[in-house]
Amino acid sequence: MSGKCISFAAGPQYSKADRTQVKFPVSSLGDQKQWSAKLEEQHPYFWTISVNTPANAPIGQYDLFLHASKVYCLLGKFILLFNPWCRDDLVFLPNEAQRQEYILNQDGVIYWGTENEILAQPWDFGQFDVGIVDICFRLLDIGEGYQQDKDQTQRKNPIYICRTVAAMINCNLSRKILTESGTRECYDGTPPSKWLGSSSILQQWVTLQGQPVRYGQCWVFAAVMCSVLRCLGIPTRVVTGFTWAHNTNSNPNVNEYYDEDGTLLTPDKSARVWTFHVWNECWMARTDLLPEYSGWQALDATCQKKIEGPSFCGPAPVQAIKEGDVEVDYDVCYFFAAMNAKCKVWIHMADDILKPAFICTKYTGNNISTKSVGSERCEDITHNYKYPEGSLPEKKVLDKVYRKIKTLQAISSRREIISVPPGLEERVNLFIHLQSKSSLILGQDIPLSIEMFNYSGREKSTHLVLGVQSLHYNGVPIMQLWKEKFNFIIRNNEVNTLQVFVPYSWYGKELGENRLLRLTATVRDEDSYIYFAQEEISICDPPLTIEFPENVVLYQPSTVKISLLNPLTEPLEKCVIVVGGRGLIYRQRKYRSVQTEQLNGKTNTTQAREILALEKLSTRMNRQHRGRKRTLQLKDPGIPLLRDNI
């Protein structure tokens, strides 16, 4: 073995100076803590050599050379990833079931809807699809170039990787992966709700030569980032929170402004409280912070307005968010405000005066949800981020935060971070309660129930306005769909109940992409006090039914039937069914030609059944497994390997 050495080099411009080129001898003993080469088996015509990588080696593509008698021989190339199976790796995850879920699972669920009706959307992360690992490293290369930070030794740090990826998802102005659709129509691209997986987005980004793919919203950003980070070896999951305060500048005192008819006013086309928001959590040890901050870190690729720093947020320790440690770096204060804001409603009167409205306290950061380990069940993880509303621990955290805010405001007038939420001092003597079904199937009428309680000690004349608006997921209204006014005289200690139905014909044509409706009730009494209530509901599309044949043979074509029961009174036209199935069909397919059957033809309601036969649907499964052990086959030009394990 004398004179025989192994060397590796990483990156396009590797050198010994920046530690991207290392040379080490082939020996009979390996070293588990650093780069080393051990002779496992020696024959006259071939050697078997095992190469060990340190747990803190930078991830990336490496060239492996054999140096003998002043001759360098390229043995091959390999790609090194983070290793959550290695105890010395910063992303080490001790639970095997969680490793299977948050690294190896390519099938996921993203939650959306409202806090009272959480809906599930399947998602194909596809982190092991052909070519994805190369796209991920291309993404890192471009991101480092944009940040003018080409020190590839930083790639050993998962914090650095997470921030680079988050910047590239949506916040890099010139070379980002996705363009945010905002409230615009998506005629020149794919609407965010039409994506089924991450792989097609990343591949389209490469096809467009680094130009952003149109379009995405928060759940698409989070899903793509989950795919990239899982591909690189960082345990990651997608998280959804309902009633989310956005662009608050770290201020938990949120103001919303409505007109007298109950329509939210958004002159800048943005709302402060979103119906739901989706971000990521990634698992890592935080050697830069206190030990208790290790574990899940919140990472948000959706752009938001900040006083300083990049427009994405994180990775922020989830434990720091829960404890109100808003001084901790990486945007803990922004996450805390988004999940602990209290909303105050103002009514913009016809005479241009703003009047405060009495409203039940509207809290943000509700029903924080993620897919559970090993099942399709929705897991509520709100307790990871905050203590129960109204509990003593929550009060202590809020008091601590407000004390810190006052101190920071006294130190720096430049940073207006948070102000203590004010409250209405007048006594509430009228109470209103608005109620409806939390979700409806498309085509159903909306049942509205409003109860008004008079505790004023005397009879009151009231004016009630009920309204329905369609809205985007980010809280911005699309249009007023229905409005009706009522006048009541409510006796003291009396309860008045009103029930109305809003027909589908009034709201069906302008639902918007997210199928969300905001129901509002505005009451003004004879003393000019204003009372306000609102409820948000989801309008669900009828479910698709997928039927497989009773017997399916591996590698043999098969036919499935996809059916949809039309609940509307009119026929469906220009139908398109988009189908995706990793290991079954290549990429997504669109089918425009469908067969229509008229059912219950004797009634006035026409029901259509859309049947689609997918001919020659291969059931060949992709048996590309990812486990802890790897065999280095040097004929492969790029093999993903885990750190500390070749």
**pLDDT computed for residue 529 by the predictor:** 92
Q: Are residues 239 and 343 in the same domain?
A: yes
Q: Residue 277 and residue 222: Cα distance in Å, rounded?
A: 10
pLDDT-derived band at 605, boundaries 50, 70, 90: very low
- In which domain, by residue range, is 147 found? 96-411
Q: Per the domain annotation, does 86 fall within a domain? A: no
% of the chain residues with pLDDT over 70:
85
CB 233 within 8 A of CB 226: no
Angle at Cα 498 formed by Cα 495 and Cα 504, nearest 5°?
155
Q: Is the pLDDT of residue 66 over 50?
A: yes
CB 143 within 8 A of CB 163: no
At residue 149, the pLDDT reads 64
Is residue 230 in a domain?
A: yes
Residue 416 lies in a domain: no
For position 628, what pLDDT does the model report?
30
DSSP notation for 101-124: IIII--EEEEEEEETTEEEEEEEE
Tell whether 417 is covered by a domain.
Answer: no
Task: Tell me: pLDDT of 515 over 80.
Answer: yes
DSSP, collapsed to helix, strand or coil, labels residue 369 as strand
Q: Which of 14-23, 28-37, 421-430, 624-633 has the lowest mean pLDDT?
A: 624-633
Whether 421 is in a domain gets the answer: no
**Same domain for 628 and 607:** yes
Find all residues with CB under 8 Å of 285, minimum gap 6, and list them.
Answer: 90, 91, 92, 294
Contacts of 374 (CB under 8 A, 6+ apart): 97, 100, 101
Give the residue with greater pLDDT, 31 vs 126. Answer: 126
Q: Average the pLDDT over 88-109 and give the result.
A: 98
- Whole-number mean pLDDT of the chain? 85
- Exposure of 185 by Cβ count < 10 A (0-12 exposed, 13-18 middle, 19+ buried)? exposed
**Predicted local confidence at residue 19, as pLDDT:** 61
Confidence band for 631, pLDDT divided at 50, 70 and 90? very low
Q: How far apart are CA 574 and CA 153, in angstroms?
A: 53
- 355 and 224 part of one domain: yes
Q: Which of 345, 357, 355, 362 is nearest to 535 (CA)?
A: 362
**Domain C-terminal end among 382, 411, 440:** 411
List the one residue out of 473, 610, 618 whose CA is nearest residue 546.
Answer: 610
Q: What is the CATH number of the domain that holds 619?
A: 2.60.40
Q: What are the φ and ψ backbone dihedral angles of 596, each rounded to 5 degrees?
A: -115, 130
Return d(Cα 224, Cα 548) in angstroms, integer. 29
On the question of pLDDT at 20 being above 90, the answer is: no
Q: Which of 25, 65, 267, 302 lies closest to 181 in space, CA to CA?
A: 302
Which is the catalytic residue, given 86, 136, 171, 218? 218
Question: Are 613 and 581 in the same domain?
Answer: yes
**Mean pLDDT, range 394-400, rounded to an integer:** 95
Sheet holding 495-502, edge to edge: 430-435, 446-454, 495-502
Q: What is the DSSP string of 466-517?
A: EEEEEE-TTS-EEEEEEEEEEEEEE-TT-EEEEEEEE-HHHHGGG-TTTTEE
498 pLDDT more than 80 = yes
Give CA torsion, residues 471, 474, 475, 476, to 10 deg: -60
The answer to the question of residue 163 being in a domain is yes
Query: What is the model's pLDDT at position 8?
Result: 65
pLDDT (mean) for 471-488: 94
Question: In terms of domains, do 173 and 123 share one?
Answer: yes
Q: Are residues 76 and 126 in the same domain?
A: no
Buried b (16+ CB within 10 A) or exposed e, 46-83: eeebebbbbbebbbbbbbbbbbeeeeeeebbebbbbbb
Report the pLDDT averaged over residues 95-99.
Answer: 98
Per-residue pLDDT at 120? 96
Per-residue pLDDT, 14? 64
Q: How far is CA 132 from the centre of its chain?
A: 20
Distance between CA atoms of residues 341 and 327, nearest Å: 17
The CA-based dihedral angle spanning residues 602, 604, 610, 611, taken in that order and rounded to the nearest 10 degrees: -10
**CATH assignment of the domain containing 181:** 3.90.260.10
CA 67 remoteness from chain centre:
48
Q: What does residue 152 show for φ and ψ, rounded to 5 degrees? A: -70, -10
Catalytic residue among 129, 300, 525, 644: 300
Backbone angles phi, psi at 411, to 5 degrees: -75, -40
Mean pLDDT calculated for residue range 381-394: 96
Radius of gyration of the chain (CA): 29
pLDDT of residue 417: 38
Position 421 scores a pLDDT of: 43
Q: Quote helix, strand, coil % in the chain, to nearest 5.
A: 20, 35, 45
Does 413 have pLDDT greater than 60?
no
Identify the active-site residue in 89, 136, 246, 277: 277
- Say how far residue 516 (Cα) sits from the centre of its chain: 18
* Residues 572-596, mean pLDDT to the nearest whole number: 77
Distance CA 392, CA 398 (A): 10
In angstroms, rounded to a whole number, what is the distance separating the alpha carbons of residues 50 and 644? 11
| pLDDT tens-digit map of 426-449 | 556 899 999 999 999 999 999 999
User: With bands split at pLDDT 50, 70 and 90, how would you rate the model's confidence at 593?
Assistant: low
- For residue 496, what are its two tokens? 């008045």
| pLDDT value at 54 more than 70 | yes
Least confident range from 3-12, 98-107, 198-207, 259-268: namely 3-12
Largest Cα–Cα distance in the chain?
Answer: 105
Pick the range with the lowest mean pLDDT from 111-125, 469-483, 588-602, 630-644.
630-644
Q: Which pLDDT does position 626 carry in this prediction?
A: 32
16, 46, 80: which is the final residue of a domain?
80
Identify whether 368 is part of a domain: yes
pLDDT per residue over 158-211, tens digit each?
999 999 999 999 987 677 999 998 777 778 899 999 999 999 999 999 999 989
Half-sphere CA count of 531, side-chain side, radius 13 A: 23
Kindly report the length of the chain. Answer: 646
Query: Residues 348, 329: one domain?
Result: yes
> Residue 594: its pLDDT value, please?
55
- H/E stretch holding 159 reads helix 158-166
Are 50 and 136 found together in one domain?
no
**Peptide bond before residue 334 is cis, with ω within 30 degrees of 0:** no
Number of separate helices (H) and strands (E) present in the chain: 10, 37
Residues 394 and 442 in one domain: no
Domain containing 61 — which CATH number?
A: 2.60.40.10
SS3 labels along 445-478: CEEEEEEEEECCCCCEEEEEEEEEEEECCCCCEE
DSSP secondary structure string, 514-577?
A: TTEEEEEEEEEETT--EEEEEEEEEEEPPPEEEE--S---TTSEE--EEEEE--SSS---S--E
**What single letter denotes the amino acid at residue 337?**
A
pLDDT band for position 215 (50/70/90)? Answer: very high
Q: Is 300 a known active-site residue?
A: yes
Cα 571 to Cα 598: distance, rounded to the nearest angstrom: 9
Decide if 301 contacts 221 (C-beta within 8 A): yes
- CA-based nearest residue to 243, from 278, 273, 219, 279: 273
Q: Is residue 643 part of a domain?
A: no
pLDDT at 26 over 80: yes
Residue 24: pLDDT over 80: yes
Tell whether 204 and 344 lie within a shared domain: yes
Cβ-count burial 509-518 (b if 16+ within 10 Å, e if not): eebbbbbbbb
Count the Cβ atoms, other than its own, within 10 Å of residue 307.
10
- Token pair, residue 215, equals 């379009």
Mean local confidence (pLDDT), 490-511: 93
- Do residue 386 and residue 453 come from a single domain? no
How many domains does one find in the chain?
A: 4
pLDDT value at residue 408 = 59
Q: What is the mean pLDDT of residues 327-339?
A: 94
- Amino acid 22 reads V
Q: What is the pLDDT of residue 64?
A: 87
Q: Locate tokens 């039409």: which residue? A: 194
Average pLDDT of 602-628? Answer: 32
Q: 587 or 443, which is more confident?
A: 443
Give the C-alpha distances (Å, rounded to integers) separating 338 from 248, 264, 272, 277.
7, 19, 10, 10
Is residue 36 within 8 Å of 52, Cβ to Cβ? yes
What is the per-residue pLDDT for 220?
98
The pLDDT of residue 18 is 60
Least confident of 61-75, 236-250, 457-471, 537-551: 61-75
Of the three residues 476, 504, 539, the one that is the final residue of a domain is 539
* Cβ atoms of residues 213 and 61 within 8 Å: no
What confidence score (pLDDT) does residue 161 get? Answer: 97
Contacts of 12 (CB under 8 A, 6+ apart): none
pLDDT at res. 601: 35
Q: Are residues 523 and 548 in the same domain?
A: no
